[in-house]
Amino acid sequence: MDHASLTYLVFFSILFVFFAFPVFSKYRRDISGNVFAVPKRPLLLDWSVMLPCIIYAFLVGFRYDYGYDWMQYFYTFNYIQEGRLFRETTEIGYLFINRLIGLAGGDFYTLLIIESFFWVFSLCFLLRSNRRAIHIVLPLFIASTWFRVLNLSRQHFAMSLFFIAVAFLFEGKKKKYLILALIAASIHTSVLIFIIPFFFLDRIKKIPSLKKILLCYLGAVTLKNVMINVLLSMGTFFTMYVITNKGYTADSLLADTFQWQVSLSKMLSGYFLDVVTILGVAFLLKHSALYDETGKKTAEYYIYILGIVGALLRPIGECHEIFSRTFMYFTYFEYICFGLWIFYLLKHFRSDTMPYWLKAVSILALMYRLYSAFFSLKSQILAGVFIEYIF
């Protein structure tokens, strides 16, 4: 089988197992009968979720030289086994894990498998109280972020631990959150920027109205150049006092290597997806159970807040690699929210409470997101970026 066919096979096989298997997850409805099912089994014992995670981990964990950063991770692993550093600025937590895997008899592929498993597991962990939605959310999420996740595996490894920490934070377990978040920061220091803002997430007592959110989004789109200049000035501060191992300054962030040229059509389609997600979240906030039986806010409530923030930030970072990578801690929640909205839409498609125009634009957004994911994968393959195994 040629590399292009193999890449397509792996990609669509992963989407299929995450779509098909979680459908069989046992669940029960809460006393109000809302759509957010509460599973009986612990996540780690739920084969319908864990098996797709394991399949994903092995299919992408054994990839050879995929993406731009694969080789530097490979050298980092092998250098540290010899007591040397490939890069002086690599975080100590990441080096420790690399060394520990080597001492345990594992190789570089062991590291990739572990990273890959934790990534998809963390997303499932965020959604464990709404497990039936996984079969819609995960395929859409994986398809939309395929190359970025596999290319930036170290940052996503750190993000996976941080997302697990955030799931504990949703439950009010702040000590577990802080411990896991600090471990994540030792793997990739970008986590440090978000530990405090996320910690105070429960202080948000009221979500702004849809009108105010859309006005903020319009402001983000029209004033993004101004905001980028503000972020550029902040870059020096953060790299001097927070992320001291990166060395990004206002001047270095202006380098052409970090600037992305985005076509007008891609910008407009991105805005369309953002707005549809915001509209979907606004509908969910009115028609979903946001409190559990004890009166506490559900995980979905906080996911919706983070998804709205992600939608507001995404246009600002769409033309700059570093800002885009930094905003992933929020923009990925926008992807999750889009999946949750599509799950709800399909579940209640015949409901009269949902406007026909909202159904229509949401289905159009779903079709475009799927088309965009496939087109992105095809473009990577045409550029010579393949899934390859060297067994």
Q: pTM (2 decimals)? A: 0.90
Chain centre to alpha carbon of residue 55: 19
Q: What percent of the chain has pLDDT over 70?
A: 88
Please tell me the distance from the alpha carbon of residue 125 to that of residue 217, in angstroms, as a whole number: 29
Q: What is the mean pLDDT of residues 250-271?
A: 76
Longest dimension (CA), the chain: 65
pLDDT at 379 over 60: yes
Give residue 240's pLDDT.
Answer: 56
Please tell me the distance from the alpha carbon of residue 349 to that of residue 330, in angstroms, as a whole number: 28
pLDDT digits (tens, 9 = 90+) for 109-119: 999 999 999 99
Please tell me the distance from the alpha carbon of residue 161 to that of residue 149, in angstroms, as a whole number: 14
Please tell me the distance from the alpha carbon of residue 60 to that of residue 129, in angstroms, as a whole number: 27
Q: Which of 10-14, 36-40, 141-145 has the lowest mean pLDDT?
A: 36-40
Q: Which residue has the tokens 């992963």?
A: 14
Give residue 30's pLDDT.
Answer: 43
- What's at 185, amino acid-wise? A
Phi first, then psi, for residue 205 (nearest 5°) are -90, -25
Q: How confident is the model at residue 248 (pLDDT cuts 50, 70, 90)?
A: low
Q: pLDDT higher for 231 or 106?
A: 106
Beta-carbon contacts of residue 137 (< 8 Å; ≥ 6 apart): 123, 127, 336, 339, 340, 343
3-state secondary structure the chain: CCHHHHHHHHHHHHHHHHHHHHHHCCCECCCCCCCCCECCCCHHHCHHHHHHHHHHHHHHHCCCCCCCCHHHHHHHHHHHHCCCCCCCCCCHHHHHHHHHHHHCCCCHHHHHHHHHHHHHHHHHHHCHHHHHHHHHHHHHHHHHHHHHHHHCHHHHHHHHHHHHHHHHHHCCCHHHHHHHHHHHHHHCHHHHHHHHHHHCHHHCCCCCCHHHHHHHHHHHHHCHHHHHHHHHHHHHHHHHHCCCCCCCCHHHHCCHHHECCCCHHHHHHHHHHHHHHHHHHHHHHHHCCCECCCCCECHHHHHHHHHHHHHHHHHHHCCEHHHHHHHHHHHHHHHHHHHHHHHHHHHCCCCCCCCHHHHHHHHHHHHHHHHHHHHHHHHHHHCCCCCCCCC
Q: pLDDT higher for 233 or 291?
A: 291
pLDDT digits (tens, 9 = 90+) for 161-218: 999 999 999 999 999 999 999 999 999 999 999 999 999 998 888 889 999 999 999 9
Beta-carbon contacts of residue 279 (< 8 Å; ≥ 6 apart): 210, 358, 361, 362
Q: How confident is the model at residue 390 (pLDDT cuts 50, 70, 90)?
A: confident
CA atoms within 13 A on the CB side of 135: 14
- Are residues 377 and 3 in contact, defined by beta-carbon separation less than 8 angstroms? no
Please tell me the distance from the alpha carbon of residue 375 to that of residue 243, in angstroms, as a whole number: 35
Q: How confident is the model at residue 46 (pLDDT cuts 50, 70, 90)?
A: confident
Beta bridge partners of 64: none
pLDDT at 362 over 90: yes
